[in-house]
Amino acid sequence: MYGGGYIFEDPKNTESATEDSVKLRNFEERIAAGEKIEPSDWMPAEYRKQLIRMIEQHAHSEIIGALPEGTWITRAPGFRRKLALMAKVQDEVGHAQLLYSAAETLGKPRENMINDLITGKSKYSNVFNYPAVTWADTAVIAWLIDAGAIINQVANSKGSYGPYCRALERICVEESFHLKYGHDNVVFLATGTPKQRQMVQEALNRWWPPIMHFFGPSDRISVHTETLMRWKVKMASNDDMRQKFLDMYVPKIWELKLTIPDPKLSKNKETGLWDYTEPDWDEFKRVINGDGPCNKERLAVRRRAEEKGEWVRKALMKPDERYTVPLS
Amino acid sequence: MSIKSIDPRITREKLPEENDITPLKEIHHWQTYEVFHQAKTGDHHIHVGSLHAPNSEMALILAKEQYARRYSCINLWVVKTSDICRTTNDEEEIFGTTPDKIYREAGGYKVMDRINKFKQK
Ligand SMILES: [Fe+2]
Ligand SMILES: [Fe+2]
């Protein structure tokens, strides 16, 4: 996972007069020509700021995203599934490490990012503010949330910032295991006993609204991102990614004879696009601003992890050591 | 008020709802290291990323965990980021004339024209 539905700041001042116009033109030409920007290259302040914000949100999403599934490790049905789930959760935490490093190359130390996460200042993907109620929820998360994440991450891996693209390429390889693992779990339940089918159907019903929220608000109501798209920070519109997801996964859900809790959901023959009930964006905003079923729990668990690790980190720390920004 | 979760283990932890920890300071998560990885014998080591560690021994352990969980890897190097010297992108022009130094390359030496002319004479 994860990433998707990033909350960008409204980039109104991007063409700000404070930037050197020659450098800015050169920078934009390089991006248009498909070149990557590396940490020591010149970049507009706004590019740096928005990238830090996005990569940091992505890293937080990985680390918080490990929690709803991680809670099922001790109760996974069977040893093989327990091993596989542990491997997946470890991957997600590893993704956070890679992404924190990529964000650090832009000048924000890791400790500051963690501070901003645990005080609630930074955001992370909204879907992880919902609970994994049963084992079937973990199956739906691993299949469909990771599927959404892959669509987003594959798009972003073609972006303009070198360290982020390299981290994403590594991440995408691991995501393909998550997707297969999730699909396997869903198929197992959906082709099983009536009780198993019911479990997976109920999990899908619970997760469908968060899944529709995953790519973020409709382009009609989200902040203007033209500059971010020109700079290849944002690589695809929220609605386009949502359409792509529906195109790829609705048929796979229907082939298992599972239902999707949206009576309007169908492919429009004329437009070639999916029609669906507009997701509840007020709920999305309410939850992302702290008032979801698990926001407090997620941050409290994260804080406790930080607290419990503190003595180990201190015991090994060399007091005269200075932090160095990672190279790439 | 402490956190009530559907996971009883979390409820038992009696986690406070509000933030009660002192902010981390830079270096609390240690120094950074760069990681180089060799996939098989005969290959060069290549840079694969960075990580945080308190010393090189731990950096190697974490590098194995972070960069060699899957696929083949036979050897890892870790180097403290601060020990790496590098050129900056501003001085790119120092490499500018390199591609023009054709006399350094095999392709810069074309004798056949001359030999053929010599033979025709
Ligand atoms: Fe994943
Ligand atoms: Fe991930």
What per-residue confidence (pLDDT) applies to A321?
87
Any domain includes A2:
no
C-alpha span between A48 and A121 (Å, rounded): 18
- Asked if residue A1 has pLDDT above 60, the reply is no
Q: Which helix (H) or strand (E) holds A30?
A: helix A21-32
Any domain includes A126:
yes
User: What percentage of residues in chain A have a pLDDT greater than 70?
Assistant: 95
What per-residue confidence (pLDDT) applies to B20?
79
C-alpha span between A200 and A183 (Å, rounded): 12
Which has more confidence, B94 or A140?
Answer: A140
Q: Which helix (H) or strand (E) holds B47?
A: strand B46-53
Judge whether A233 and A47 are in contact, CB under 8 Å: yes
The per-residue pLDDT for range A77-118, each reduced to its tens digit, is 999 999 999 999 999 999 999 999 999 999 999 999 999 999
SS3 A311: helix
Judge: A324–B82 Cβ closer than 8 Å, yes or no: yes
Nearest to A297 among B3, B32, B81 (CB): B3
Q: How many residues does chain A have?
A: 328
> Ligand 1 centre and the CA of A206: distance in Å?
19
- The Cβ of residue A57 has, within 10 Å, a number of other Cβ atoms equal to 24
- Which has the minimum average pLDDT: A168-172, B25-29, B41-45, B49-53? B25-29
Nearest to A323 among B10, B27, B34 (CB): B27
C-alpha span between A69 and A156 (Å, rounded): 24
Angle, helices A110-118/A79-104, rounded to nearest 10 degrees:
120
pTM: 0.93
User: What percentage of residues in chain A have a pLDDT greater than 90?
Assistant: 88
Work out how many domains chain A is built from and give that number: 1
The per-residue pLDDT for range A24-60, each reduced to its tens digit, is 999 999 999 999 999 999 999 999 999 999 999 999 9
* H runs (alpha helix) in A157-294: 162-190, 194-213, 226-230, 238-254, 281-286
A218 vs B: CB within 8 A: no
Transcribe B25-45 into DSSP letters. Answer: -TTTT-EEEEEEEE-STTSPP
The per-residue pLDDT for range A182-197, each reduced to its tens digit, is 999 999 999 999 999 9
Any domain includes A322:
no
Confidence of residue B93 (pLDDT cuts 50, 70, 90): confident
Residue A124, C-beta contacts closer than 8 angstroms, at least 6 positions apart: A57, A60, A61, A63, A64, A65, A117
C-alpha span between B117 and B110 (Å, rounded): 13
Nearest to A212 by CA among A157, A290, A264: A264
- Asked if residue B1 has pLDDT above 70, the reply is yes
- The Cβ of residue A174 has, within 10 Å, a number of other Cβ atoms equal to 20
Indicate the CATH number of B29-85 among 3.40.50.720, 3.90.650.10, 2.40.50.140, 3.10.20.520. Answer: 3.10.20.520
Residues 97-136 of A with CB under 8 A from B: 97-98, 101, 104, 109-112, 114-115, 118-120, 131, 133
C-alpha span between A248 and A147 (Å, rounded): 9
Cis before A130? omega within 30: no
Judge: A316–B30 Cβ closer than 8 Å, yes or no: yes
B35 strand-pairing partners: B49, B78
Neighboring chain B residues of A323 at a CB cutoff of 8 Å: 26-27, 31-32
Name the residues around ion ligand 1, CB cutoff 5 A. Answer: A 1, 146, 175, 178
- Asked if residue B111 has pLDDT above 60, the reply is yes
C-alpha span between A241 and A213 (Å, rounded): 11
Judge: B27–A133 Cβ closer than 8 Å, yes or no: no
Any domain includes A183:
yes
Which amino acid is present at A92? Answer: E
Judge whether A292 and A129 are in contact, CB under 8 Å: yes
Which amino acid is present at A98? Answer: L
Task: Provide the Cα torsion A208, A211, A213, A219; round to 10°.
Answer: -110
Domain CATH number, residue A143: 1.20.1260.10
Judge: B30–A101 Cβ closer than 8 Å, yes or no: no
- Asked if residue A13 has pLDDT above 70, the reply is no
- Asked if residue A326 has pLDDT above 70, the reply is yes
Any domain includes A98:
yes
Q: How many helices (H) and strands (E) does chain B have?
A: 3, 3
Domain assignment of residue A188, given as a range? 13-316
- Asked if residue A243 has pLDDT above 80, the reply is yes
- Asked if residue A14 has pLDDT above 90, the reply is no
Query: For chain B, what is the mean pLDDT?
Result: 92
Assembly ipTM? 0.90
Confidence of residue A11 (pLDDT cuts 50, 70, 90): low
Distance from CA of A134 to the nearest CA of B (A): 10
Judge whether A156 and A3 are in contact, CB under 8 Å: yes
